[in-house]
Amino acid sequence: MLSIVVPVYNEEETIGRFLTATRAALEQVTADYEIIFAADPCKDKTLEIIREENGIDPRVKAIVLSRRFGQPSATSAGLRFASGDAVIVIDCDLQDPPGLIPEMVRLWQTGYKVVIPQRRTRQGETVVKRIIANLGYRFINHIAEVPIPRNTGDFRLLDRRVVEELLALREHHGFLRGLTAVVGFKTYLLPFDRDARVDGEGKYNRFTGSFKIGFNGIVAFSDYLLNFMVKVGLVLAFLTLPLTIFLIVIKAAGWYNFSQGIATLFIFILLMSGIQLLGLGILGAYISRIYEEAKSRPKFIVETVIGVPGDLMKAERASEVFTRAQSG
């Protein structure tokens, strides 16, 4: 049994091509599969198309969330409902090629618990986005508690054991790339060339990509920024003493008139104020994360399902309530 989890939002232009390509790939592997679309409420005909496909092929299913929770939460919902021995998370825009599925399954069958396609090239992306992505991965890997493979997305195959361990984690940020690294297990990186999006528009900024998700990964997997601000504070504190002595000496020698240094003083105050505000912002990001985790709200709320059995819905509801009670 193989589960394909597809987070979607307003994908009416690509969903037909995606299903055609994915079915062709799955036919090379097994007929025992399910394709689960995890959808935020869509403004186009995405859900209508999925309902039509479900009427033709009951292996096509959907989970519709009560509001727009975002891609990480939608992916978590798909993992929660997936029942396969292995689960593949893939985007609908065909930048993640379904043609890799047979090779991913083959590697899984040889013993790998996680198979992660790794981008050699990134077609259809701006130079600015590529630079930010490259620098972001380098920085995260430099500071993270666990290594996160560079040039990878959420496109990956996860063994059932890995999925269960991911679902057991209580973090609410849903940074799948980092969480997969946290649970570990034998991993294979599968190189591929990423194509441009076939149709429609991406949901992330075309220049900066998912900056929010990247920053989430930095804050969630390292306290480096907090320690860095402590180091900056110590350096500035130690510089204050020799600078003060220097100013006293040149004033006593009559080499400098303090009344003429207003511009310099103003610049120095602006610099210190900027550093302080930056430190407060970093501290606020960590406090905000603690606040979000302490509230223990559910990662997602399901409004309706398409093709998912009612008993599974009830089990999911009971599981979510139990999880919230335990963490509370």
Contact between residue 96 and residue 117 where contact means Cβ atoms under 8 Å apart: yes
Which residues of the chain are in CATH 3.90.550.10 domains?
2-222+297-327
* Residue 47 DSSP SS3: helix
DSSP 2: E
How many C-beta atoms lie closer than 10 Å to residue 184's C-beta?
12
The tokens of 258 are what? Answer: 């303090």
Please check whether residue 33 is in contact with residue 25, taking contact to mean a CB–CB distance below 8 angstroms.
Answer: no
Tell me the pLDDT tens digit for each residue of 164-215.
Answer: 988 888 776 667 877 888 888 889 988 888 776 555 555 555 545 555 656 6
Q: CA separation (Å) from 34 to 93, 97, 270?
A: 18, 17, 58
The architecture of the domain spanning 2-222+297-327 is: Alpha-Beta Complex (3.90)
CB burial of 208-242 (b: ≥16 within 10 Å; e: otherwise) equals ebbeebbebbbbbbbebbeeebeeeeeeeeeeeee
pLDDT at 169: 82
* Positions of the chain with pLDDT lower than 70, given as ranges: 122-146, 172-174, 196-224, 237, 240, 244, 247, 251, 254-267, 270, 293, 295-296, 310-328
- For residue 259, how many other CB atoms are within 10 A of its CB? 6
**Count H helices, E strands: the chain?**
11, 8
Local structure of residue 261 (DSSP, 8 states)? -
Task: Determine if the pTM surpasses 0.75.
Answer: no
Q: Tell me phi and psi for residue 89, to 5 degrees.
A: -95, 130
Residues 6+ apart with CB under 8 A from 268: none
Give residue 24's pLDDT: 92
**Do 197 and 117 contact (CB within 8 A), yes or no?**
no
pLDDT of residue 220: 64
